[in-house]
Amino acid sequence: MDKFTKLSGVAAPMPLVNIDTDMIIPKQFLKTIKRSGLGANLFDEMRFNQDGSEIPEFVLNQPAYREAKILVAGDNFGCGSSREHAPWALADFGIRCVISTSFADIFFNNCFKNGILPIVLPQEEVDKLMDDAQRGANAVVSVDLESQTITGPDGGEISFDVDPFKKDCLLNGLDDIGLTMKKAEAIDTFEARYEAQAPWA
Amino acid sequence: MSNPKTLYDKIWDAHLVHEEADGTSLLYIDRHLVHEVTSPQAFEGLRMAGRKVRAPEKTVAVPDHNVPTSLDRAKGIDDEMSRIQVEALEKNAKDFGITYYGVDDVRQGIVHIIGPELGWTLPGMTIVCGDSHTATHGAFGALAHGIGTSEVEHVLATQTLIQKKSKNMKAQINGALSEYVTAKDITLSIIGATGTAGGTGHVIEYMGEAIEALSMEGRMTVCNMAIEGGARAGLIAPDQKTFDYVMGREHAPKGAAYEAAVAYWKTLFTDDGAHFDKEIILHADDIAPVVTWGTSPEDVLPITATVPAASDFEGGKVDAAARSLDYMGLKPGTRLQDVAIDTVFIGSCTNGRIEDLREVAKVMEGRKVKDGIRAMIVPGSGLVRAQAEDEGIAQKLQEAGFDWRMAGCSMCLGMNPDQLKPGERCASTSNRNFEGRQGRGGRTHLLSPAMAAAAAITGRLTDVRDL
Q: For B297, which residue in chain A has the nearest alpha carbon?
A: A80
pTM metric for this prediction = 0.97
Gap between the Cα atoms of B137 and B280, Å rounded: 21
Across chain B, mean pLDDT equals 97
* B129: nearest CA partner in chain A: A82
Work out the pLDDT band at B461, boundaries 50, 70, 90: very high
Contacts of B66 in chain A (CB under 8 A): 31
Could you report the per-residue pLDDT of B303-360, keeping only the tens digit for each?
A: 999 999 999 999 999 999 999 999 999 999 999 999 999 999 999 999 999 999 999 9
Cβ distance A110 to A84 under 8 Å? yes
Complex prediction ipTM: 0.96
Pairing mode, if any, of strands B233-235 and B202-207?
A: parallel
Give B409's pLDDT tier (boundaries 50, 70, 90): very high
Q: List all residues of chain B from 144 to 173 with a beta carbon under 8 Å from chain A.
A: 146-151, 153-154, 157-160, 162, 164, 166
Whole-angstrom distance, CA of residue B155 vs CA of residue B161: 6
pLDDT at B206 exceeding the cut of 60: yes
| pLDDT tens digit sequence for A98-151 | 999 999 999 999 999 999 999 999 999 999 999 999 998 888 999 999 999 999
Residues with Cβ within 8 Å of residue A33, at least 6 apart in sequence:
B40, B41, B44, B84, B85, B88
What's the pLDDT score for residue A137?
82
Q: How far is the alpha carbon of A164 from chain B, nearest alpha carbon, in Å?
A: 8
pLDDT band at A35, cuts 50/70/90?
A: very high
| Interatomic CA distance for residues B226 and B136, integer angstroms | 8
**DSSP bridge partners of B233:** B203
Is the distance from CB of B425 to CB of B447 less than 8 angstroms?
no
- Assign A8 a pLDDT band (cuts: 50, 70, 90): very high
Q: Is B262 on the interface with A (CB under 8 A)?
A: no
Residues B30 and A190: their CA atoms lie apart, in Å, by: 12
On the question of pLDDT at B286 being above 90, the answer is yes
Three-state DSSP at B333 gives: coil
* Tens digit of each residue's pLDDT (9 = 90 or more) over B372-401: 999 999 999 999 999 999 999 999 999 999
How far lies B190's CA from each of B21, B278, B290, B301, B431, in Å?
A: 35, 13, 11, 11, 14
Distance from the first to the final alpha carbon of chain B = 51
> How close B315 gets to chain A, by Cα (Å)?
9
Q: What is the pLDDT of residues B220-258, one digit of tens each?
A: 999 999 999 999 899 999 999 999 999 999 999 999 999
pLDDT tens-digit map of B124-177: 999 999 999 999 999 999 999 999 999 999 999 999 999 999 999 999 999 999
For residues A187 and B416, give the distance between their C-alpha atoms in angstroms, rounded to a whole number. 39
Q: Which residues in chain A touch residue B132, judged by CB atoms under 8 angstroms apart?
A: 80-82, 106
pLDDT of residue B1: 55
Interval B67-73 mean pLDDT: 96
Among A22, A75, A201, beta carbon nearest to B316: A75
- Helical segments of B97-142, H only: 111-117
**Residue A2, pLDDT score:** 85
